[in-house]
Chains A and B, each alone.
Chain A
Amino acid sequence: MSRTPSSAAAAAVVALGAPAPAAPGSLASRLGRAIALVAFIVLVVVLGLTLAPANALELQYAVSLTLFAVATNLILGFGGLVSFGQGIFYGVGAYTVALGWMHQSLDFTEAMVLAPLFGAVAAVPLGMLALRTRRLYFSLLTLTMSQLAFVIAENQTNLTGGTNGVFGAMVPTWLLDPHTSFLFTAAIVAVSIAVLWKVVHSPFGLVLRAIRDNRERVEALGVNVYAHELAAFVISAFFCALAGSLFVVYSQSSYPEILNWTASGVPVFMAVIGGMYSFFGPVVGAFVYEFASHYLIEYTQDWQLVIGVVLLAIVLLRPDGLAGSLGSLRARLRRRRQPAAARPAEDLATPDDAGGRP
């Protein structure tokens, strides 16, 4: 990401809600951000309740995907770990609800509680293994694991229903109304994203970012890097699995395609589109990606072409994503108004350099 000046990228984070270090006007801008956030949530909820059922359902799916993208971005943007395997945990979450219903006639509420826990438990051995490798090997190993999960889900027909997956009345009747299930999803996603926000902005989150930026230095400070990365991986998996269980609420089914390697790529693309160095960037990316692909499928068969071109354009021209572009615009405006000395120190949340150093 060395193409864009890091200050612009950092400004993006600040603009979209990273903790702005004490700077003139920060209270006002924080208040502004909070109001914008509340307004956005109100807008989504009002839309979800007033839209036609089919559209409300679509919005519900997009909302559940924002959790998937933000949870993936915990390790991607803030941990510097490019995982092409978060689809595994999404799948674990979905299959926990579906298989619990099919084999154990598990109560829906119990299954919803178990799903994220199972995701976290699965992430411990997988993370321990994957985090032995670095950088590109980590990406490729997680991609491999994702495909393994897909193959298992597809071939163990007795357990998982094979290629067709599991369909049925696994969602209780009170959740079948599109508006109710939308509210249910939105509430879970809002709470989860708030928790993830806390994680990112806790001392733990700061250490995570420090590891991303300069692993050796953090190691030299006596921090157990491996343990921190593993913890982040498990937390991410917990919320990915929760997002997966929300997929069942949306589709009342679970099938192998949700955990193959291209499915694991989707939250990564959402983060890249929206901007992975800002907390809410992946939310933007998830909405853009989901609505784009949904409406593109309706109007053209060439959705792969369009998404491919968009991804290419962003990654080559705007490596900071949409949030980054917005942020650099804001920073430019702010710079025009402020003398250089008064500018906030903005290098907290973004990698100071190419980002991908060992």
Chain B
Amino acid sequence: MARFLTETIGTLSDASSLFVVAAGLTLVFGAMRVINLAHGTFYMYGAFAVTTFAGTASGLRFWVAIVVAALVVAALGAVVQLGVVRFVVGKEPLTQLVATFAVLYILADVALHLWGSGARSVSAPLGVSGTFTLAGAYLPVYDLVIIGVAVLVGLVLWLLLSHTSLGWMIRAAVDDPELLQSGGVNLRRLHLAVFATGALLAALAGAIITPQISVAPGMDQSIIVSSLLVVVIGGLGSVVGTAFAALIIGIADTVGTLVDPAWASTFMYFAVILVLVVRPWGLFGTPER
């Protein structure tokens, strides 16, 4: 039982941070039909920014650092949108993939100048570090923080997309952009807001996870692959699908580690391949015409 609890909380925590990153990716795709390969870059920047802003002092400053990091990276996202992504909306996938990959390269280089090539770390503030006991299992308190943030993000996104006028504008932005524009909606500004929000979510995920990982260059390239796995399984553009898919990936990873550590990291890829064999457009996606 204790073992089961430990694994469950660990899996949920992994799935949660993955969900927050991937939700940003899928939100941008849902509104703009752009897959942003530099999305993982925002995640890495969020994490690096926390190591800068939080310093060594923990406590309140840590939480402030997370908020500031997310906002700063959202601003960076706005710059990327205005400088690059704006020009590839509506273009073919190859153009979008190459352009956003170029952004990944450029920002990876800039990150080297800003934070160097070494690994950095931040410790969690006293209140949320350490473990608590439940049914004989020692569980990291910080896992609960991550899960809580993911649930909050999920709820806010769901409310935003299904219960506000901004939500239907985002959906209409893909279905019928011309009609939306003739209705007086500024599509460019909408895209800018959505892209900055996507960057903010990636940065938030990267910022919140800093106490559990070592922050180093290369994070951008590895997290983008996991997030792509998630959004492809879930169906591009679907936030609900993203939540399910993040869980599937998390479970695949945990089960993999338990079954055979040497093959553990391949399980999530096989999960993707399995899903796409059955539904080539993902669990909650719609077939591409």
Contacts and interface: CB of A to CB of B under 8 A. Distances in A.
Interface of A: 1-2, 76, 82, 84, 129, 132-137, 139-141, 143-145, 147-148, 151-152, 155-157, 261-262, 265, 268-269, 272, 301-302, 304-305, 307-309, 311-312, 315-316, 319, 354-356, 358
Interface string B249-289: 00000000000001101100110110011001110000011
Contact of B98 (A141, A144, A261, A272): A272
Interface stretch (B4-12, B88-96, B122-130, B182-190): B88-96
Interface of B: 35, 84, 87-88, 91-95, 97-99, 101-106, 108-110, 112, 221, 225, 228-229, 232, 236, 262-263, 265-266, 269-270, 272-273, 276-277, 280-282, 288-289
A216 B221 CA distance: 36
B93 A312 contact: no
Contact of A311 (B105, B272, B281): B105
Contacts of A354: 92
B84 A155 contact: no
A319 B95 contact: yes
A243 to B, nearest CB: 21
B231 to A, nearest CB: 8
A315 B102 contact: yes
Contacts of A261: 221, 225
Contacts of B289: 358
Contact of A143 (B102, B225, B280): B225
B266 A311 contact: no
| Chain A residues touching B, majority SS | helix
B225 A136 contact: no
A132 B276 contact: yes
Contact of A147 (B101, B103, B225, B236): B225
A321 to B, nearest CB: 11
24 contacts: A129-B273, A134-B280, A139-B93, A140-B228, A143-B225, A145-B269, A145-B273, A148-B266, A148-B269, A151-B265, A151-B266, A151-B269, A156-B262, A157-B262, A272-B94, A304-B106, A304-B109, A308-B109, A309-B106, A311-B102, A312-B84, A315-B88, A356-B92, A358-B289
A306 to B, nearest CB: 9
A129 B277 contact: yes
B22 to A, nearest CB: 12
B92 A307 contact: no
Contacts of B229: 144
Contact of A132 (B35, B280, B282): B280
B272 A144 contact: yes
Nearest to A276: B94
Nearest to A269: B98
B232 A308 contact: no
Nearest to B97: A139
A139 B289 CA distance: 16
Contacts of B94: 76, 82, 139, 268, 272, 356
Closest 5 CB pairs of A and B: A356-B92, A308-B105, A308-B106, A148-B269, A305-B109
A356 to B, nearest CB: 3
Nearest to A313: B102
Nearest to A300: B109
A204 B285 CA distance: 34
B92 A1 contact: yes
A304 B108 contact: yes
Contacts of A137: 232, 236, 276, 280-282, 288
A140 B99 contact: no
A312 B99 contact: yes
A81 to B, nearest CB: 10
A145 B232 CA distance: 13
B269 A147 contact: yes
Contacts of B270: 148
Given A151-B265, A307-B102, A356-B92, 12 more contacts: A82-B94, A129-B277, A136-B93, A136-B288, A137-B236, A143-B228, A268-B98, A305-B105, A307-B105, A308-B105, A315-B98, A358-B289
Interface centre among A139, A140, A151 (most CB of B within 10 A): A140
- Which among B97, B272, B273 has the highest number of chain A CB atoms within 10 Å? B97
A156 B289 CA distance: 39
B270 to A, nearest CB: 8
B273 A304 contact: no
B279 to A, nearest CB: 10
Contacts of A302: 109
B37 to A, nearest CB: 9
Contacts of B106: 304-305, 308-309, 312
A217 to B, nearest CB: 15
B277 A132 contact: yes
A137 B112 CA distance: 32
B280 A133 contact: yes
Given A132-B277, A137-B288, A305-B105, A315 B232 contact: no
A354 B280 CA distance: 24
Contacts of B99: 311-312, 315-316
Contacts of B276: 129, 132-133, 137, 141
Contacts of B104: 308
Nearest to B264: A155
Nearest to B224: A261
B140 to A, nearest CB: 26
Contacts of B221: 261-262
B102 A309 contact: yes
A320 to B, nearest CB: 12
A272 B110 CA distance: 24
A132 B275 CA distance: 12
